[in-house]
Structure 1
Amino acid sequence: MSYKSAIDIYHNDLANLLKMLDVYVINYRNLVSTLNDINLNVLISKRKKRRAIKQVEELGCIIDVLLESICKVQQCYLRYVKMKCDVLCEIINWDFIKLEIEQELLLNLDTDFKHKFLSIYSPKGNSSIIDLK
């Protein structure tokens, strides 16, 4: 597994945690709203009201644990993104970006045809052809 795929998986895990948090918060809101309705209803027993309160508290605890996990994951992921940005700033130059754009534009062309159009200019002004194999 490459580093990029490992980080992509890590990013997907973070996105999944955020989706879970969204679902839990929506459910928590619904439970609190329902609890309020139950509390106002005099026909519902105190035992059922206490059970509903306990369920809301349990979901609140789950949300707290999930938020703590998301904070830890985000800190690690943001450190990765910052380090990657620092490395990319060191290695990217004009020729690198131009080559990337040319490769993207000429992606579906025949290899022989690519050599006619692909050119990266060195700082001296000499033209050199880059092999895309």
Structure 2
Amino acid sequence: MGNRLVVQTYYGDMNNLVTYLNQLVNAYRLLIGSAGDLNGIALAKKSEVKDALKRAEKLGNIIDEVIETIDKTGYCYSDYCKTKSDILKEKIESGFIVTEIEQQLFFKD
């Protein structure tokens, strides 16, 4: 079962990346909105608006890297799931699955 723990950890890492991406995107949206608000203020300096947009651009680059990482990670995890499914199809007889489902339905009632 040691290999299973590795895959569970890998899946947890993937979930952490998605959570991280969500937080970064929210921060990015706030930065863009703030830059727009700042641009609408008559007293704001042009350099302040440019600085706000530069910060948003830097965060956008980080978001791109996280998306790329999730993309690569997702393919590996998807391959794992497909391989596991193929092995299960070979090893498990459908009669066992039907019996298991019937037992679950019987105990639910």
Q: TM-score range by the shorter chain?
A: 0.7 to 0.9
C-alpha distance in structure 1 between counterparts of 2:86 and 2:76, whole Å: 16
Unaligned runs of 5+ in 2: 104-109
C-alpha distance in structure 2 between counterparts of 1:15 and 1:95, whole Å: 32
Unaligned runs of 5+ in 1: 103-133
Kindly name which structure, 1 or 2, has the bigger radius of gyration based on alpha carbons: 1
- Structure 1's consecutive aligned runs of 4 or more residues displaced over 6 angstroms after TM superposition are none
Q: Tell me what 2:90 maps to.
A: 90
1:95 Cα offset (Å): 4.2
Query: Residue type of the partner of 1:8?
Result: Q
Q: Say whether residues 1:10 and 2:10 are aligned partners.
A: yes
Flag the 1:97–1:37 CA change in 2: closer, same or farther, 3 A: same
Aligned residue pairs: how many?
101
Structural mapping, 1:1-133, within 5 Å: 2-93=2-93, 94-95=95-96
So what's the TM-score if we normalise by structure 2? 0.84
Which structure: greater helix fraction?
2
Over the matched positions of the two proteins, sequence identity in percent amounts to 34
The CA RMSD over aligned residues, in Å, is 1.9
